[in-house]
Amino acid sequence: MKHFVTSKFRYILYLVLVAPLLLFIAYAFSTRWFFPQPFPIEWTMETFQHVFHDSQTIPSLAQGLWIASLVGLLSLILALPAARVLGLRKFRGRQLVWLLFFLPTIIPPLSVGMGLNILFLRVGLAGTIAGVVLAHIIPTLPYTIFTLSSAYARFDENYEFQALALGASPWHIFLNVTLRMMTPSLVVAALFAFLISWSQYLLTLLIGGGQVITLPILLFSAASGGNPSVIATLSLLFIAPPVLVIAVTARQLNQHGNQIREQY
């Protein structure tokens, strides 16, 4: 009975996840779909071609990917030292440091964005990709630090001592031992940063100021236009990179899960 309920619940969950996607597909590849017909009357590639031929679609897609990738990389570089200390060392005020790192997730993004906008206008970073990247790092960093510090908490420093005693330099050890052993967690942390950056609307709008156009900006603009086919097509484009990235990193995600299971 219990199994029956859990499997039913699982299928309902799948339906909730997949249903919007099916709707997007139906809307994106059709022109006429009226109530009470269960399926569209006419299937077409017209909307898709129209969206792709729009001068803003491909640049915004590329720009968003570039920004999200940069944010992923920079978040990792910035998070690693903090995560190492938080994961491996016990010191007074550790909880306070945790709280400080998590502040960006507590403070409303609008306040952060407005403050950053004023600051970036002064230093000339407003309306630039660099400014948007820096702004995106603020909400991503807590997640990368959290993921990597958990990985460091599971990491046994004796692997590093072993390599050191065998003659390896600290830099060689970091690159060839530590990072290699933490690869699954690094991928997961980068994925978090990528996904958060990829779906950022507010910070991109505030800091980019219309100069930096990413797919969420286009999507919001299309949503206010009210054409369901265009909204659905852009939504499919918006979903595609995260799905692709998750598929490519599935092995690492699985290893990360196994490492956590082994720990408990």
Partner 1 sequence: MTTVNIISLNKTYPNQSAPVLKDFSLSIHDGEMVAFLGPSGSGKSTLLKLITGIERPDSGDIQFDDSSILNIDPNKRGAVLMFQKSYLFPFLNVEDNIGFGLKVQGASSQIIHAEVKRMLNLIGLPGIEKRKSGQLSGGEGQRVALARALVTNPKLLLLDEPLSSLDTEVRINLQEVIRNIQRELGVTTIFVTHDLGEAMAMSDRMALLLNGEIVALDTPENLFHRPRSLAAAKFMGVSTFLSGDPLIVQKEACSSSDKVFAIRPEHIRVQKDTCDQSMPGVVSDCVFRGEYVEYLVAVDGTHVRARMSMPAPMFPHGAQVFVKFPREHLFEVQNQESA
Residue span binding partner 1 (CB under 8 A) among the ranges 16-24, 170-178, 196-204, 210-218: 170-178
CA nearest neighbour of 64 among 223, 241, 244, 187: 241
Residue span binding partner 1 (CB under 8 A) among the ranges 34-42, 57-65, 175-183, 207-215: 175-183
Residue 85 touching partner 1 (CB under 8 A): no
Residue with tokens 């779906």: 199
Contact 11, 222 (CB under 8 A): no
Q: Which of residues 130-149 bind partner 1 (CB under 8 A)?
A: none
CA nearest neighbour of 191 among 261, 249, 142: 249
Six token digits for residue 128: 């630039």
184 vs 216 by CB, closer to partner 1: 184
Residue with tokens 């952060």: 112
4 vs 171 by CB, closer to partner 1: 171
Residue span binding partner 1 (CB under 8 A) among the ranges 4-12, 26-34, 93-101, 166-174: 166-174
Residue span binding partner 1 (CB under 8 A) among the ranges 10-18, 155-163, 188-196, 235-243: 155-163
Residue 16 touching partner 1 (CB under 8 A): no
Distance in Å, CB of 217 to partner 1, minimum = 41
Looking at 7, 169, 211, 258, which residue binds partner 1 (CB under 8 A)? 169
Distance in Å, CB of 77 to partner 1, minimum = 22
Could you tell me if residue 73 is left (phi over 0), alpha (psi between -120 and 50 degrees) or otherwise beta?
Answer: alpha
What DSSP character marks residue 44? -
Name the burial class of residue 254, with classes exposed (0-12), middle (13-18) and buried (19+) by CB atoms within 10 angstroms of its CB.
exposed
